[in-house]
Amino acid sequence: MPANNAHGSNRPILVIVAGPPAGGKGTISEHLVADIGLYQISTGDLLRDEIARGTEAGDKAMKLMRAGRLVPEGIVNSMVFSKLETAEVRRKGAILDGFPRTESQAAALADYCSNSNWWRVDAYIAIDVPEEVLLERAAGRRIDPVTKLVYHVKFNPPPADIAARLQIREDDQPHRQRRRIATYRENAAPIERVFSNRLVHIDGDQPMHGVYQQFVEKMLVACWGGDSGRKHSTIPAKWNEFLAEEKKKQNASKL
């Protein structure tokens, strides 16, 4: 259980995974949930859940999402901040997937953190992927409505026995995907300025394991490297080995 001290080493981890639509944010988040038990806060998933439950927020979001447009931030911000207030998320630490998506959302998050006893952004990791690759990833994406797992017909094929129940997202149609990419590109630089001291870019135009490896390395250095003092026991042993090597390199460069 983290200590109730925002500046102490035991505060929960908060990592932002940023990147264009179909850039691989959800895929990385799924792995981090499995590997170290972080809580994934995906605004897209939260909104799709509101739609499925027929809530007022879901009704407002539905048309905009189908068209590939952003949902009003009043809806999105309160969804994220109320998750961050829960005991489960504070205990596990969080990966923010799909938030913030505008400069104003970024400012609201920075504000929220500066007024919080718990949360500070440890890393803002942006995945870079070229447009033609994004279009191919969106075109082949398939969602399992039962497990919510995400597959790709070519890059991550689903098991044959669930193929018939898989769904295609409406906003993955090429013209909608292009609009979402354009919106992402318009907003990326202003958001990155807000988190410039936590910002790292990784190359997302690689097979999944290569992208994940880069992500983990950047995250480890940001969260457990240097003098953060976090307990390494919370991460898999193979990652401790990487950190030990990093530490050696850092010490050698100081000599």
**Which residues here bind ligand AP5, judged by CB under 6 A?**
19, 21-27, 42-44, 47, 64-65, 68-71, 76, 98-99, 101, 105, 137, 140-141, 150-152, 155-156, 171, 180, 206-208, 211
Closer to ligand AP5 at the Cβ: 50 or 224? 50
CB of 25 to ligand AP5, least distance (A): 3
CB of 30 to ligand AP5, least distance (A): 8
CB of 253 to ligand AP5, least distance (A): 31
Gap between the terminal Cα atoms of the chain: 37
Q: How far apart are CA 173 and CA 23, in angstroms?
A: 15
CB of 186 to ligand AP5, least distance (A): 13
Cis peptide before 157 (omega within 30 of 0): no
Closer to ligand AP5 at the Cβ: 172 or 230? 172
For β-strands 199-203 and 123-128, DSSP reports them as: parallel
**Mind giving me the DSSP string for 174-200?**
HHHHHHHHHHHHHHHHHHHHHTGGGEE
Closer to ligand AP5 at the Cβ: 65 or 223? 65
Closer to ligand AP5 at the Cβ: 11 or 31? 31
Residues 6+ apart with CB under 8 A from 61: 47, 50, 51, 71, 75
User: Whose structure tokens read 């100081």?
Assistant: 254
With CB atoms as reference, the residue minimizing the distance to ligand AP5 is: 44
